[in-house]
Amino acid sequence: MKWKEIAIQFAPGPKGADPETAADLIALALRDFGSRGVIVQDPGDAKDHPDAAVIGHVPSGPEEPPDLKTLESRLAVLKKDLGFQARMSVRDIQDRDWAHSWKAHFQTPVSCGPFRVKPAWVEPGPADPARIIEIDPGMAFGTGTHPTTCLCMELIGAHVKKNSRFLDVGTGSGILMIAAAKMGAAHAAGTDTDPDALEIARKNLLLNGVPPHRFSLVRSHLASGLKGRFDVASANILFRPVLELIGATGRFLKKQKPGIFVCSGFEEADTDKVLEKMTRQGFEIIETRTRESWAAVCGKRA
């Protein structure tokens, strides 16, 4: 498969947003545009893009992504409203180049709650072997380096119990399924609309010692058509899909021993809307966590 690599290089203006905020908003725009993941690059990290940059990858084939003009328009609004300078470059790359790009930017182990996430090709350093998660993201989203992934892992570490059933909607690399298995979940299920992501998740689960009888992977949109009920479900996706999924949690969360729902992928500014939707759907909010302008919410069915 061919891909388009979209690199948005940016710099704060004299009265503009701070670099972290600018990077987060550009990353969100790329994810909304269809990027399978984003790389946030500090100045000088790579010779191809020596300035600070956010890099995303979208499929380029028979099903072309939306017109780049839509992304350019959103970037123009961000530049005007937040006062930073930015320019966009686009190039065509192959699968193998995409995977290499991830490896070039994912080199350092990351601590997320009780877990230590590391690239499959890097030594973990001092850590409890039982809580080390090895990830080769390939073409899927989820390395532990993004705040939303880390927030979800912290909440999974706090709320997944031994012998429970766990579901991850939009599983990407499978990292949250692996975290649940490490906490003792008897079975972890994952859904994704992308068959490539499901295959990558399968390989990562096996890489981390999760045997095939303890996990299942289903191609599905927002857990539609999924059978069975779960003690804990997670969704690290995007704001609007999260809102849509909250309304469907009655299909897959257990009603006895109230099921727990962990969601992220949205900005801190949208937290109140998520809390309102969860409350209307009968959830008791357990906790909300934030990091670098991103948020995660955990609730249980009342």
Q: Are residues 153 and 253 in the same domain?
A: yes
Say which CATH number the domain at 64 has: 3.30.70.260
Task: Return d(Cα 222, Cα 170) in angstroms, integer.
Answer: 7
pLDDT given for residue 136 in this prediction: 73
User: What is the residue-averaged pLDDT of the chain?
Assistant: 84
Q: pLDDT category, 42, cuts 50, 70, 90?
A: low
pLDDT given for residue 203 in this prediction: 93
Q: Which of 76, 102, 128 is the last residue of a domain?
A: 102
Task: Return d(Cα 118, Cα 78) in angstroms, integer.
Answer: 33
Domain that holds residue 38: 2-102
- pLDDT reading at 13 higher than 60: yes
Q: pLDDT category, 232, cuts 50, 70, 90?
A: very high
Kindly report the pTM of this predicted structure.
Answer: 0.72
Q: Are residues 138 and 274 in the same domain?
A: yes
pLDDT given for residue 105 in this prediction: 54
Q: Are residues 97 and 112 in the same domain?
A: no
Nearest C-alpha neighbor of 86 from the set 94, 95, 75: 75
Say which CATH number the domain at 258 has: 3.40.50.150
> DSSP alpha helices (H): ranges in the chain?
19-33, 68-82, 95-105, 147-159, 175-182, 195-207, 239-246, 271-280
Q: Are residues 113 and 93 in the same domain?
A: no
Count: domains in the chain = 2
pLDDT given for residue 44 in this prediction: 42
Q: Which of 102, 131, 151 is the last residue of a domain?
A: 102
Q: pLDDT category, 107, cuts 50, 70, 90?
A: low
Residues 254, 230 contacting (CB under 8 angstroms): yes
pLDDT given for residue 140 in this prediction: 46
Task: Return d(Cα 230, Cα 216) in angstroms, integer.
Answer: 13
Identify which of 102-106, 123-127, 138-142 has the greatest average pLDDT.
Answer: 123-127
Identify which of 58-72, 139-153, 181-195 has the greatest average pLDDT.
Answer: 181-195
Q: How many CA atoms lie within 13 A of 211 on its CB side?
A: 3
- pLDDT reading at 189 higher than 60: yes
Q: Are residues 89 and 238 in the same domain?
A: no
Q: Which of 46-50, 151-155, 220-224, 285-289 has the lowest mean pLDDT?
A: 46-50
Q: pLDDT category, 45, cuts 50, 70, 90?
A: very low
Nearest C-alpha neighbor of 156 from the set 299, 262, 301: 262
Q: Are residues 62 and 114 in the same domain?
A: no
Q: Are residues 243 and 259 in the same domain?
A: yes
Q: Are residues 38 and 141 in the same domain?
A: no
Computed on alpha carbons and rounded to an integer, the radius of gyration of the chain in Å comes to 19
Annotated binding site: 149, 170, 192, 236
Q: Are residues 180 and 243 in the same domain?
A: yes
The percent of residues above 70 in pLDDT, for the chain, comes to: 81
Q: Are residues 216 and 202 in the same domain?
A: yes
pLDDT (average), residues 151-179:
96
Annotated binding site for S-adenosyl-L-methionine: 149, 170, 192, 236
Q: Are residues 258 and 117 in the same domain?
A: yes
- pLDDT reading at 152 higher than 70: yes
Q: 144-168 b/e with 16+ CB inside 10 Å = b? A: bbbbbbbbbbbbbbbbbeeebbbbb
pLDDT given for residue 25 in this prediction: 83
Q: pLDDT category, 17, cuts 50, 70, 90?
A: low
Q: Are residues 124 and 229 in the same domain?
A: yes
Q: Which of 102, 134, 160 is the last residue of a domain?
A: 102
